[in-house]
Amino acid sequence: MAQEPGTPGPQAPVGQPLPPPDAVELSDLATLRALAHPRRQRVLQHLTLHGPATSATLARALGLNTGATSYHLRELARHGFVEETAKAQGSSETGGAAGRERWWRAVPGDRRFPPRSRQSAEVRLVMDQLNHHAHAADLHLFEQAQRDTAEGDPWADAFPYSRGTIRLTLPELRTFLEEYIALLNRYKRPEADTPPGARTVLTRMIAFPAPAVDDAPDDPAARAAHTPHPPKTKRTGP
């Protein structure tokens, strides 16, 4: 399963934890544009969730034609996100002649994006587009999973959710992210070592600084929106 891109690049400041040596920073504009394409994100998501597939399989699943999926697969492969692989075991795919089908899989890896301070205006624009589509897809998957889980299914309780606040320095936040990714990697294992009953679990972590009081605009009305107010007491009698 591919590691989701993190925030810091592979070169951390002096005295800060370095990402693993196999972490790769995606800083090339053409590569980021290839990844940010909405249909390519859907193709990559399907391969990550469901395993290897042909262009015909993807076309049926995503409502596209095979010409479109083949093109998007080639573009993703050109930038190292997917690669050809052997036919998936146990698949019922019957879309082509034996030995001529091209099967594709998502290439796993620890991929990182450059921090925003090192992004050019063009890269920022592409990153904003990529994040917009990725976050929308994540929310759709979460809501779909909740809707589709049958009553009585033991996995109906498999929706851990946490919202919290912590006060950190920027170096501590970088350390926090690396420790989080290390925790994910602790639970990764080869398919052969995965026990029966295990399912793919999607994990998403997002952290961002809360607005500071000093960041409030000078406009009194806007500033009031940043100021907490005591709860109002509702009168129920005359």
Angle at which helices 55-62 and 66-78 cross, to 10°? 120
Q: How confident is the model at residue 1, as a pLDDT?
A: 31
What six digits make up the tokens of 91?
């698949």
Q: Of 202 and 90, which is predicted with more confidence?
A: 202
Q: How far apart are CA 88 and CA 20, in angstroms?
A: 30
- Go through 7-29 and write b for each residue having 16 or more CB atoms within 10 A of its CB, e for each that does not: ebbbebeeeeeebeeebebbbee
Q: Within 10 Å of residue 201's Cβ, how many Cβ atoms?
A: 10
Q: How far apart are CA 107 and CA 177, in angstroms?
A: 22
Residues 6+ apart with CB under 8 A from 194: none
Q: How confident is the model at residue 39, as a pLDDT?
A: 94
Could you report the per-residue pLDDT of 6-37, keeping only the tens digit for each?
444 333 443 455 556 577 889 899 999 999 99
Residue 152: pLDDT band (50, 70, 90) is: confident
What six digits make up the tokens of 159?
């929706």
| pTM assigned to the model | 0.68
Q: Is the dihedral of CA 117, 183, 79, 61 positive or negative?
A: negative
The alpha carbons of the chain give a radius of gyration, in whole angstroms, of 22
